[in-house]
Amino acid sequence: MSFSIAVAGKGGSGKTSVTSLIIRYLINNNLKPILAIDADPNANLGDSLGLDIKQTVGSIIASFNDEKIAIPPGTTKESYLEYKLSEAIVESPGLDLLTMGRGEGAACYCYPNSLLRKFADTLADNYAYVVMDNEAGMEHLSRRTTQNIDLLLIIADHSVKGVRAVARIRDLVSELKLVVKKQAVIINRVPGKLAPLIITELARLNIEPAAIIPEDEQIYQCDLELKPLLGLPDSSKAVQVVADLMDGFLNNKILIKGVIK
């Protein structure tokens, strides 16, 4: 049984960076194998992990109606699509990546999407950890694609809008009755201390962050030079905060605050 971690939040909050730092933590603590899922149509998790993406699930599903006429004799369309979907997995030692890619387009792909959820569930059985970087906003939640999650981390940038987006995601999880065992809030890219307006808004919305990640020049430099975040040194401030947070959740080394029951 795999342990599933999902990362959500509004656009620009740094979800992909946090997802990459979580994966870095798992790799460095030998908590493998890991399946990373990039569920953002604007896919860039592969760049952050240093993995080269050649195909996405979106492109395979989009071409499925054209390709199914060439299904080999004796092969069901379900098994053929599963085979095609497996081609979207990028493999590396201890870490594999599945990239969802762009949306469905105008055609109806209800059957392939249903099969995709089944495919992802089947994949998860082969990994110790599944880490999903979700698209911006709440669309993935309203479609119920983020559920049966052990840990949901909701990311806000250092803004009132970011904090309000966190509250909406928290409330939607409750409203849809999604199966999420634990969820917690992270305030990302904080320049020094939290601004008084942010503190006031957090209190008004009854949100206590589980972690505050400071601005990190080393992450900015990696992004600028297109270097994978997996290579960040232990001295990185963001690396240290995420490591402490994951220690608390996975190893019970510290008392975690900010967990939403």
CATH code for position 121:
3.40.50.300
Label residue 109 by pLDDT band (50, 70, 90).
very low
Which residues form the domain of 52?
Answer: 3-260
* 56-60, 76-80, 110-114, 169-173: the lowest-pLDDT one: 110-114
CA distances from 162 to 20, 87, 228, 232, 247 (A): 20, 36, 26, 26, 25
For the chain, the domain total comes to 1
Question: pTM score > 0.85 for this model?
Answer: yes
User: Read out DSSP for 83-114?
Assistant: HHHHTTEEEETTEEEEE--S---SS--HHHHH
* Axis-axis angle for helices 77-86, 110-124 (nearest 10): 60
**How confident is the model over 136-146, as pLDDT tens digits?**
544 555 454 54
What are the tokens at 140? 């993935």
- Residue owning tokens 């992802």: 120
**How confident is the model over 151-209, as pLDDT tens digits?**
999 999 999 999 999 999 999 888 888 888 889 999 999 999 999 999 999 999 999 99
